[in-house]
Amino acid sequence: MATFKDFRNSVKPNWCPGCGDFSVQAAIQRAAANVGLQPENLAVISGIGCSGRISGYINSYGFHGIHGRSLPIAQGVKMANRDLTVIASGGDGDGFAIGMGHTIHAIRRNINVTYIVMDNQIYGLTKGQTSPRSAAGFKTKSTPMGSVEQAISPMEMALTAGATFVAQSFSTDLKDLTALIEAGIKHEGFSLINVFSPCVTYNKVNTYDWFKENLTKLSDIEGYDSSSRETAMQTLMKHNSLVTGLIYQDTERKSYQQLISGYSETPLAQADLTLDQQYFDKLVTEFI
């Protein structure tokens, strides 16, 4: 059995000391070990941003693609090899700005991929511009007078897009976060986990202390029912989406792969690439 140490590699992350992304990396490594994965059976696909570097810091197969496109790449990998565990990851700019279209469609498509967003409400890699997660009024290099646009709520959006697994966490809650990632991996279908992962260098508003003060744990809400979409939506609205824990899970709906017809039980990557002559002849006859 692999332990979380087996998911460590020799690369030293180039994140700023104190960056929230360190804990997200640790949580993924622990969750992978806890669900019994071997490093070669995990593929971490990431976008571009400080957070996107994460796929290079985990001892597993990793693909660091282009800005905003971790999800289509990850879905392609999963379609090619259904036996792999596929995690997609990136920043809030990656997933909710340039990649927002893919996020919504990955949610409704419901391919069995776990998507972990490191949400720091700012653009880190490009040195501090506003993000679709920045609150109105937030001053950044690109919004010196304060942002006049509204922040989106990815959790509410996911619910309306038909998500089957929606969770939110805070990078310092390593235990909770690890458990959520494990649950996401085990979920049959698409799982979205938004993680508040503070940028200590460019976001002086949404700091560790700010989150500690403003976050509510769903486990502290008595009788919270994560199987009810209605409760989930109401709770998010009531708490301005500042909650952590498993917000919603639909265990009934089938995943994309379970629903499509003919899809091979064995990974497509192992498919026999040759057709037999007879089969080919049959195909050709349709054109006569």
Ligand X SMILES: Cc1ncc(C[n+]2csc(CCOP(=O)(O)OP(=O)(O)O)c2C)c(N)n1
Binding mask 57-76 for another protein (x = CB under 8 A): --xxxxxxxx--x-xxxxxx
Q: How far is the CB of 147 from ligand SF4 (least distance, A)?
A: 18
Q: Is the CB of residue 81 less than 8 Å from the CB of residue 64?
A: no
Q: Is the CB of residue 184 less than 8 Å from the CB of residue 193?
A: yes
Q: Give the residue carrying structure tokens 């700023």.
A: 16
* Residue among 82 and 211 whose Cβ is closer to another protein: 82
**Among another protein, ligand X, ligand SF4, none, partner that 102 touches (CB below 5 to 8 angstroms by kind):** another protein
Residues that bind ligand X (CB under 6 A): 48-51, 67, 90-94, 118, 120, 122-126, 131
Considering only residues 225-254, where is the footprint of another protein by CB under 8 A?
none
Q: Is the CB of residue 116 less than 8 Å from the CB of residue 103?
A: no
Q: Is the CB of residue 106 less than 8 Å from the CB of residue 71?
A: yes
**Among another protein, ligand SF4, ligand X, none, partner that 92 touches (CB below 5 to 8 angstroms by kind):** ligand X
**Among ligand X, another protein, ligand SF4, none, partner that 263 touches (CB below 5 to 8 angstroms by kind):** another protein
What type of residue is 114? T
**Among another protein, ligand SF4, ligand X, none, partner that 200 touches (CB below 5 to 8 angstroms by kind):** ligand SF4
Interior CA angle at 201 toward 143 and 136, to 5°? 30
Instruction: Name the H helices within the chain.
Output: 21-34, 70-80, 92-93, 100-109, 154-160, 174-186, 208-214, 229-238, 256-259, 277-285
> Is residue 273 near another protein by the rule CB under 8 A?
yes
DSSP state of 123: B
How far apart are the C-alpha atoms of 18 and 79, rounded to whole Å? 36
Query: Which residues are at the interface with another protein (CB under 8 A)?
Result: 8-11, 38-41, 43, 45, 48, 55-56, 59-66, 69, 71-81, 83-84, 101-102, 104-105, 109, 260-264, 266-271, 273-275, 277, 280-281, 283-284, 287-288
